[in-house]
Homo-oligomer: A and B are copies of this chain.
Amino acid sequence: MWRALAHATRRQVLDLLVESPRTTGQVVAALGLDRHVVMAHLAVLRDAGLVLSERRGRVRMNFLNAVPIQEIHHRWVTPASGPWASALIAVRDGAEALQEGPGTPGLVDDRRISG
């Protein structure tokens, strides 16, 4: 799934499909890319479980499957407590440097980075 999300074109496809299901041809038209390229990306998305598709007559309708996205939730959001939760909350509160903690350098102090 992460691999599937690693390509900008595939994220674009997801953005199209989250709006409404589309046939492969419609996705091709919307992106203005070669049909085979789009088909390959759709295949990756299907393998990742992010897209469900179904042949209907001579077209194939592609649906978004948001379920796998929940994994992102459960990794970073749901754990109401846990390291990720605090790290993300720290960011939200503009306290990115929190993690360095006491005894950890601020930014410039003495001489930190050798060179």
Q: Does A73 contact B (CB under 8 A)?
A: yes
Interface contact A18-B104, CB-CB below 8 Å: no
Interface string of A6-33 (1 = CB under 8 A from B): 1110010000001111000000000000
Closest B residue by C-beta to A63: B99
Assembly CA distance A104 to B65 (angstroms): 15
Q: Give the shortest distance, in Å, between A100 (CB) and chain B (any CB).
A: 6
Chain A interface main SS type = helix
Copies of this chain held together in the complex: 2
Interface string of A61-105 (1 = CB under 8 A from B): 101111101101100110000011001101110001001100011
Complex interface: chain B residues within 8 A of A105 (CB):
54, 56
Binding site for B on A (CB under 8 A): 2-3, 5-8, 11, 18-21, 54-57, 61, 63-67, 69-70, 72-73, 76-77, 83-84, 87-88, 90-92, 96, 99-100, 104-105, 112-115
Please name 19 pairs of A and B residues whose Cβ atoms are closer than 8 Å in the assembled complex, sorted by A: A2-B7, A2-B11, A5-B6, A21-B104, A54-B113, A55-B113, A56-B105, A56-B112, A57-B114, A66-B88, A66-B90, A66-B96, A67-B91, A69-B88, A69-B91, A70-B92, A72-B76, A73-B76, A73-B88
